[in-house]
Amino acid sequence: MAKDTVQDGLVVSMDYKLTVDGQVLDSSDEAGPLQFLVGYGNIIPGLENEMMGMKIGDSKEVTVQPEDGYGEFDDEAFMEVPRSEFPADMQLEEGLELHVTDQDGNHQAAYVAEFDDKNVKLDFNHPLAGAVLNFHVKVIALREPTAEELDHGHVHEDGHHHH
């Protein structure tokens, strides 16, 4: 297949705008174009699938339901942790994002749902769980990944290497 459309194994550069309930949450106007390697789970599947076959200059409106986005909101994805397991000088606040490691060594993001002197209730739902996502996307460039990018399964932008 000619490498002039969005397909697995190519790096896409795109302008985007994410709107939820009529509110713009994120856009390339502020962050700059997003680059991602197609086919490696770098963006949510509901958006990636809809972008397949787009050419440079094409734009599209894509609506992504929760199951193809950040998941349904799970009432059970909460956990109570004793306050004593957090550093005593740690400033807790509702909505604070924490990175926790489970017994299997998996890293996960959690958010402080509520807390008192004894317990901290953590919310493991993604902040956009349950949300219908409306994307406006425009493909601005396509390129082959470097061998290292392909090996890692993600883009290294401007030599900036983050893992």
Q: Which CB atom, from 55 or from 143, has the smaller least distance to Zn ion?
A: 143
Q: Which CB atom, from 123 or from 149, has the smaller least distance to Zn ion?
A: 149
In the list 58, 152, 155, 158, the residue contacting Zn ion (rule: CB under 5 A) is 152
Q: Which CB atom, from 99 or from 160, has the smaller least distance to Zn ion?
A: 160
Told to check if 150 binds Zn ion by CB under 5 A, we report no
Single out the segment in contact with Zn ion by CB under 5 A; choices: 31-39, 64-72, 103-111, 148-156.
148-156
Single out the segment in contact with Zn ion by CB under 5 A; choices: 51-59, 78-86, 105-113, 151-159.
151-159
Q: Which CB atom, from 39 or from 127, has the smaller least distance to Zn ion?
A: 39
d(CA 68, CA 27): 20
- Smallest gap, in angstroms, from Cβ of residue 39 to Zn ion? 16
Single out the segment in contact with Zn ion by CB under 5 A; choices: 40-48, 50-58, 89-97, 146-154.
146-154
Find tokens 């005593």 and name the residue.
88
Q: Which residue is nearest to Zn ion (CB)?
A: 152
Told to check if 42 binds Zn ion by CB under 5 A, we report no
Handedness of CA 7, 160, 111, 118 (dihedral sign): positive
Token pair in block for residue 125: 């739902």
- Smallest gap, in angstroms, from Cβ of residue 40 to Zn ion? 11
For every residue of 104-146, DSSP letters joined together read: T--EEEEEEEEE-SSEEEEE-S-TTTTPPEEEEEEEEEEEPPP
d(CA 39, CA 157): 18
Q: Closest Cα to residue 134, out of 36, 75, 68?
A: 68
- In angstroms, how far is CA 19 from the centroid of its own chain? 14
Told to check if 17 binds Zn ion by CB under 5 A, we report no
Find tokens 């990636």 and name the residue.
48
Q: Which residues of this chain interact with Zn ion, rule CB under 5 A?
A: 152
